[in-house]
Amino acid sequence: MEKDPEGGSRLIPSGNRDRLVDCMEEFVKYTIVMRPHFDLFGDRYSERIERAAKQQAQKQQEPDPSRTAESATKMKSDIVSGVNINSI
């Protein structure tokens, strides 16, 4: 019995191997035909939702430009442990 130099990692000639080769050829053809339309497949609903959530979080973290540094400092001094002491 002769040993395969690649350790037996190749498929032996059979009907299953032929079907696999057919599928791979079709996959390559499909990839070539659809390559110009790749953006259609790269835009998934879940990714759009995730992107929107990240953008919303970034907007919430950005400082409000209408507030001045002085009013922000005053507001911070009026809040102790998360409680506005002016409302007590």
For residue 40, is it within any domain? yes
For residue 78, is it within any domain? no
Whole-angstrom CA distances from 18 to 28, 32, 46 are: 15, 21, 37
For residue 83, is it within any domain? no
**What is the domain extent for residue 51?**
12-59
Total domains, the chain: 1
Task: Answer yes or no: is pLDDT of 52 > 60.
Answer: yes
Give the chain's largest Cα–Cα span.
92
Give the Cα separation of 31 and 41 in Å (integer): 12
As a 3-state breakdown, the chain gives helix, strand, coil percent values, each rounded to 5, of 65, 5, 30
pLDDT class for 18, splitting at 50, 70, 90?
very high
Average of per-residue pLDDT across 67-75? 55
What is the structure's pLDDT at 54?
94
For residue 41, is it within any domain? yes
What is the structure's pLDDT at 19?
96
- More confidently predicted of 67 and 59: 59
For residue 26, is it within any domain? yes
For residue 73, is it within any domain? no
Average of per-residue pLDDT across 1-18? 77
For residue 4, is it within any domain? no
Give the Cα separation of 85 and 88 in Å (integer): 5
What is the structure's pLDDT at 1?
46
